[in-house]
Amino acid sequence: MNVSTQGLLRFQAAGGEYVFSGHTGLLLRSSPALDEALAKPSSALEEKLGTCLYGKHQSQRTLRVGASKQTPLQNVTVFVTNECNLDCSYCYVRKNGISNSGRMSLDTFRSAMELFSSCFDMRRRVNILFFGGEPFMNLGFLKGATGYLDQIAERDGTQFTYSIVTNGTILNQEVLDFVVRNGVSVVVSIDGSEEVHDRTRPFRNGKGSHATVLRNVGVLSQYCNLAARVTVCDLNTDLVRLYEDLRTAGFWEVHATVVSDANAASADLEPGLSQLRQRLREMEDHFLANVREKRLVRFGHVAKYLKLIHLGYRSGGNAKVLPCSAGYSSFSVAANGDIYLCHRFNNVADVRFGSVADGLNWERRENFLDTHQVSARRGACASCWAAAFCGGTCYHTSYAADAEMRTVNELHCACAREWVLSALRVYVSMSAEERCVLENIG
């Protein structure tokens, strides 16, 4: 049984028992001497143990929000259009009551980029994430936007990279040219097997979209490394099969997230978590079997977590104090020019950080970031052993459950810990030679 106390995790794997410090990232083999020291630390050991196991407490890891022009802008999510040719069961555009007719104009986009340019440091790499709705339903805008950014890149030296989240149903020569010529990282939303996918992601006429998506993936995957974005609605999903099926279909990597509004604060979480645990154990075995064959399984955050375990927290540099960069170095621009925390909140006034017309609301942004750091979340984050990996649950999962963002979505919190534990178990099962891969992947 895993016992977590004071930010320490004790876990079993690979025939041994280990203690992981969430504070410092240190991994120790369990031993009677360690158990004794942990139970009754003598003053002689106090200092040594204190530094190694407790080092810097989560609550001491805070982010000072920089002033204007000091924060490097990392990502701008552009809500290209609210229009979509699918009718997904969990669509938050529909649930959040976002109108289905908004299309971003090039003028709005240009003004937004000029605003960001005046507010943030854009001398380095900035990613533009095209989102929707289905962004390829507004290809004219996409071409205009990249053409405009080519000019900005020439003028300011900013290096723009592009990514797009698409449902994968729209692909023609013009779309393919756009993707290839702009080196766009394509993320396709797909929910696994035909049976599951067609139930959650049908066309507006009710027909399943799975076959169309797979056909297009076959073409696109010849030109770029595609990522699959899977929304998991059932914690008992066979993850190994899901991953292998998607790899066979042509995907290079697979990201799975538990559906945003799944919250069972009042219900018993354990049966679902128990199923997830079992599925993660299967995935761990699969991962390790592939490692033995010198193949990396690119599933979920496992590789990212393993890297963090391996390289350490780098004096806090890689330890997360926020769940994501939203509001700090990433923003969402809605079709009407409003600027929001992230695309999932494109109509929520509390996290509207300004607009193209009114400029950036610095005070609201700073206030938000100060009150939503992991040490300030309303939950057990401050003493959680996994906090440096998770940074607090996704704001939207909290919002979907509690209509506010400082709380912790308990199901998502429990799932996040399971994912990190899974990575720890894999890590201790890998040999030192095999861990080489963690230094060679980006």
Partner 1 sequence: MKRQQPLHVILNVTHRCNLACRYCYYSKEMATKPGHMSLEVVERVFESISRSSATAVDFSIHGGEPLLHTPSYFRDLFTLQRQYLRGRVTQNSIQTNGTLLDETFIAAYEAIVGADTHLGLGLSLDGPQAVHDGSRRYRKTGGGSFHDVMRGLDLLHRHGIQVAILAVAPLPWPDCGRDLYQFFKALPNVHLVDLLVPSGDSFPDAPEGSLTKMYTELFDAWFFDGNASFEVRFFCSIIQALLTGSGTLCTFQEDCVINNIMLSIVPDGDTSFCDSFTEVKLGNIWTHSVDELAARNHPERMRFSVVERRRIEACLFCKWFNVCHGGCPAAHMPGSRSPHHFCSEYQRIFSHVDARLREIDIAASHGLGEENLTRLVNPRLSDHLRKLRYGREHGGHQGGDTAGGTGVMKQAAPVLKSQSAVGSLSRKDRPATTLPAAQPAAGKQHIGDFQP
Q: Are 129 and 164 in contact (CB under 8 A)?
A: yes
- 166-195 positions binding partner 1, by CB under 8 A: 180-183
Q: Is 309 in the site for partner 1 (CB under 8 A)?
A: yes
- Beta carbon of residue 75, minimum distance to partner 1 (angstroms, whole number): 19
- Residue among 136, 313, 340, 389 that touches partner 1 (CB under 8 A): 313
Instruction: Give the list of residues 6+ apart from residue 238 with CB closer than 8 angstroms, or none.
Output: 279, 282
Of positions 5, 6, 223, 271, contacts partner 1 by CB under 8 A = 223
Question: Rounded to the nearest whole angstrom, what is the least distance from the CB of residue 102 to partner 1 in the complex?
Answer: 30
Alpha carbons within 13 angstroms on the beta-carbon side of residue 178 total 23
Does the protein bind partner 1 through residue 216 (CB under 8 A)?
no
- Backbone angles phi and psi of 198, in degrees to 5: -70, -20
Regarding 33 and contact with partner 1 (CB under 8 A), the answer is: yes
Q: Is 153 a binder of partner 1 (CB under 8 A)?
A: yes
Identify which range of 117-125, 148-156, 263-271, 398-406 contacts partner 1 by CB under 8 A: 148-156
Per CB under 8 A, does 289 bind partner 1? no
Q: Which of 420, 381, 411 is nearest to 269 (CA)?
A: 411
**CA distances (Å), origin 319, targets 72, 144, 371:** 18, 38, 18
State in angstroms the smallest separation of the CB of 158 from partner 1: 9
CB 177 within 8 A of CB 115: no
Looking only at residues 6 through 25 of this chain, which bind partner 1 when binding is defined by CB under 8 A?
A: 18, 24-25
Nearer to partner 1, 140 or 312 (CB): 312
Q: Which of residues 422-441 bind partner 1 (CB under 8 A)?
A: 427-428, 433-434, 436-437, 439-441
| 125 belongs to the binding site for partner 1 (CB under 8 A) | no
CB of 383 to partner 1, least distance (A): 18
| Binding status of residue 251 toward partner 1 by CB under 8 A | no
Q: Which stretch binds partner 1 (CB under 8 A): 49-57, 124-132, 377-385, 404-412?
A: 49-57
Q: Toward partner 1, which CB reaches closer, 141 or 160?
A: 160
Tell me the number of residues near partner 1 by CB under 8 A.
53
Nearer to partner 1, 32 or 97 (CB): 32
Interacting residue with partner 1 among 6, 46, 140, 252 (CB under 8 A): 252
Using CB under 8 A as the binding rule, whether residue 286 contacts partner 1 is answered as no
- Confirm or reject binding of residue 324 to partner 1 (CB under 8 A): no
Shortest distance in whole angstroms from residue 79 CB to partner 1: 25
**Segment interacting with partner 1, rule: CB under 8 A, options 62-70, 83-91, 154-162, 270-278:** 154-162
As measured in angstroms, the least distance from the Cβ of 414 to partner 1 is 25
34 binds partner 1 (CB under 8 A): yes
Q: Which of 51, 99, 274, 371 binds partner 1 (CB under 8 A)?
A: 51
Q: Does 52 bind partner 1 (CB under 8 A)?
A: yes
Which of these segments, 48-56, 73-81, 255-263, 354-362, binds partner 1 (CB under 8 A)? 48-56
Task: Spell out the SS3 assignment of the chain.
Answer: CCEEECCEEEEEECCEEEEEECCCCCEEECCHHHHHHHHCCCHHHHHHHHHHHHCCCHHHCCCCCCCCCCCECCEEEEEEECCCCECCCCCHHHHCCCCCCCECCHHHHHHHHHHHHHHCECCCEEEEEEEECCHHHHHHHHHHHHHHHHHHHHHHCCEEEEEEEECCCCCCHHHHHHHHHCCCEEEEECCCCHHHHHHHCEECCCCECHHHHHHHHHHHCCCCCCEEEEEECCCCCCHHHHHHHHHHHCCCEEEEEECCCCCCCCCCCHHHHHHHHHHHHHHHHHHHHHHHCCCCCCECCHHHHHHHHHHCCCCCCCCCCCCCCECCCEEEECCCCEEECCHHHCCCHHHEEEECCCEECHHHHHHHHHHCCHHHCECCHHHCCCHHHHCCCCHHHHHHHHCCCCECCHHHHHHHHHHHHHHHHHHHHCCCCCCHHHHHCC
* Least distance between partner 1 and beta carbon 280 (Å): 21
* Footprint on this chain of partner 1 (rule: CB under 8 A): 18, 24-29, 31, 33-34, 37, 45, 48, 51-52, 55-56, 150, 153-154, 157, 159, 180-183, 221-225, 252, 291, 294-296, 309-316, 427-428, 433-434, 436-437, 439-441
